[in-house]
Structure 1
Amino acid sequence: MPLNDLQKRLADENTANFSDLKALFINTTLKPSDRAASHTEDLMQDSLALMDRCGVGTEYLRAADFNIAFGVSPDMRKEGAAVDDWPEKIWPKVSEADILVIGSPIWLGEESSICRLIIERLYAHSGQRNAKDQYIYYGKVGGAVITGNEDGIKHVAKTVLYSLQHVGYTIPPQADCGWIGEAGPGPSYGDETEDGKRAGYDSAFTRRNLTFMTFNLMHMARMLRDAGGLPEHGNQTTDWA
């Protein structure tokens, strides 16, 4: 769903400086890049395009392209896994990002298994501390992009956003967006339909929510960066040692 004129104008008229912010988009489709295109990626790219146009430093990765071990330790090789790409290839990007956007398809009404894997690996670091002795994700912002051809956008977004805030991410207003087609077999987001159009591209609801989500993520990240993160009074772990 390429940016329309309104989205381009909103980005071009933006006066906030987002150039020092970094955003990481993690797509948790079950398909590696060399196997098939991703409908979730198709939608995520619109949020990426908006952030790029506003000056945010963005990076996108598809989790299925990596060998990420399951578990809740920062490095699962220390727990017996033969291979784990998380410590060197994924975690540094997560650690550096001011904004984390997780994208997931819907399977049986739930997030993908890889989405759950990413959440568990994020949780593995939740006991680590930042320079203020707060949990490591304090001062970072999270959002969710969901696609599918069955019910579940709000349910999956709720799961993802709850998990992110629980480990310390700040969730701004309207921090999710998504698109679903008719229940049952049928075109997924971005598929060409019989009339030559692309499924979901004409959804004003999805386009609006994606735009709100993207700007709210950037605004909240800007506010937190300018404030030096969250104030540390009352949330330092040393008080509870």
Structure 2
Amino acid sequence: MTDPDFSGLKALFINATLKRSPEPSNTQGLIDASAAIMTKHGVEVDQIRAVDHDLATGVYPDMTDHGWDTDEWPAMWPRVRDADVLVLAGPIWLGDNSSVMRRVVERLYAMSGELNDKGQYAYYGRVAGCLLTGNEDGIKHCAMNLLYSLQHLGYTIAPNADAGWIGEAGPGPSYLDEGSGGPENDFTNRNTTFMTWNLMQLAALLRSAGGFPAHGNSRAQWDAGARFDYENPEYRA
């Protein structure tokens, strides 16, 4: 069996921790584990800690056009646009994604109307997954929220595209704390590894296929009048 070729693929991890650099991030521990596999196999890995950047609140591409003094999202956008693989990673608070994560998703949504060179939505042909950390329950809830949002924007979701670690319910050690058992947890390590490989494999498949097929989903063609065999029942009578 020939090893798949991942060279030329680009992956972007966005860490939605609440902690500014250089404060240690437990989420970063899981990112590092996944990123190490990708780097070993030739994937170009980029990382952003969102809280270190001045991302304005809102769902428009550049919020300085809507009353904000500064917005670093437009400068960040090319790094997102050029990534074949996007991994959203963050902590769980009160059973849900962090406020930083919600802002990241909103800014991704801001660009969802952009089109690629096939006339599809800009995220078509790109793969996404998520990593989550915490010391209470909520991994599946947070993953459902993120993976739904990402596919709705146009990303392709691989099998087993989420992984995470939580300790015992209630206050306790976080993933990187001494004695937490997080880095040694076989369930987390297995899921993180499977997620990473599935993202790389699917991204490579899409690249070899020239992206996601454009027939039936081109916004540009729809706006030009194409209907891809859709018939409105009102017009059939």
Instruction: Assess if the C-alpha contact under 8 Å between 1:150 and 1:183 holds in 2.
Output: yes
**TM-score, with normalisation over the residues of structure 1?**
0.90
Instruction: Assess if the C-alpha contact under 8 Å between 1:14 and 1:54 holds in 2.
Output: no
Measured in 1, the distance between the counterparts of 2:129 and 2:183 equals 21
What's the % identity of the aligned pairs? Answer: 56
One-letter identity of the residue aligned with 1:171 = I
The structural deviation recorded for 1:237 is 1.1
State the 4+ residue runs in structure 1 displaced beyond 6 angstroms: none
Q: Which of these residues, 104, 112, 136, is aligned with residue 98 of structure 2?
A: 112
Aligned-residue CA RMSD (Å): 1.2
Aligned residue for 1:211?
193
Is 1:96 the counterpart of 2:78? The answer is no
Measured in 2, the distance between the counterparts of 1:96 and 1:123 equals 16
One-letter identity of the residue aligned with 2:213 = P
Measured in 1, the distance between the counterparts of 2:220 and 2:182 equals 49
Structure with higher strand content: 2
Measured in 1, the distance between the counterparts of 2:41 and 2:2 equals 7
Instruction: Assess if the C-alpha contact under 8 Å between 2:11 and 2:45 holds in 1.
Output: yes
Measured in 2, the distance between the counterparts of 1:240 and 1:220 equals 27
Aligned residue for 2:69?
82
Q: Which of these residues, 129, 137, 148, is aligned with residue 162 of structure 1?
A: 148
Is 1:172 the counterpart of 2:154? The answer is no
Aligned residue for 1:24?
12
The structural deviation recorded for 1:201 is 1.6
The structural deviation recorded for 1:240 is 3.2
Aligned residue for 2:226?
none
Aligned residue for 1:46?
33
Measured in 2, the distance between the counterparts of 1:174 and 1:161 equals 11
One-letter identity of the residue aligned with 1:220 = L
Is 1:56 the counterpart of 2:43? The answer is yes
| Consecutive unaligned residues in structure 2, runs of 5 or more | 224-237
Measured in 2, the distance between the counterparts of 1:102 and 1:78 equals 26
Q: Match of 1:173, SS?
A: strand
One-letter identity of the residue aligned with 2:10 = K
**TM-score, with normalisation over the residues of structure 2?**
0.92
Structure number with larger C-alpha Rg: 2
The structural deviation recorded for 1:14 is 7.9
Aligned residue for 1:3?
none
The structural deviation recorded for 1:238 is 3.0
Report the number of matched residues.
Answer: 223
